[in-house]
Structure 1
């Protein structure tokens, strides 16, 4: 039982880290993609608009 847990925990730690690094890279690429710049610039100005 303990060996199974340790094996699963090791697998989860290793591949979980890989998963989150890849996910972070995808989100970062999306946020910095030039096509999305206007959308994010508009969203950044929302707090300064007077309605």
Structure 2
């Protein structure tokens, strides 16, 4: 019984992480998110208007 539950937990965990990965990739590549990700990618290159010490 223990080996069956262990294998089931491993399989369910693997399927869960595959689903989470697929959701994250889909979100990152969704066309409506392109403008947001492009803006965030340029953020480190922009000048900072804050106080510099």
Bigger Cα Rg: 2
TM-score by structure 1 length?
0.81
Partner of 1:19: 16
* Count of aligned residue pairs for this structure pair: 48
Distance 1:34 1:17 in 2: 28
Distance 1:20 1:8 in 2: 18
Distance 1:42 1:15 in 2: 37
- The RMSD of aligned alpha carbons is 1.1
Greater than 6 Å deviation, 4+ residue runs: none
TM-score by structure 2 length?
0.78
Show CA shifts across 1:4-26 (max 9, x none).
3x333211110100011011101
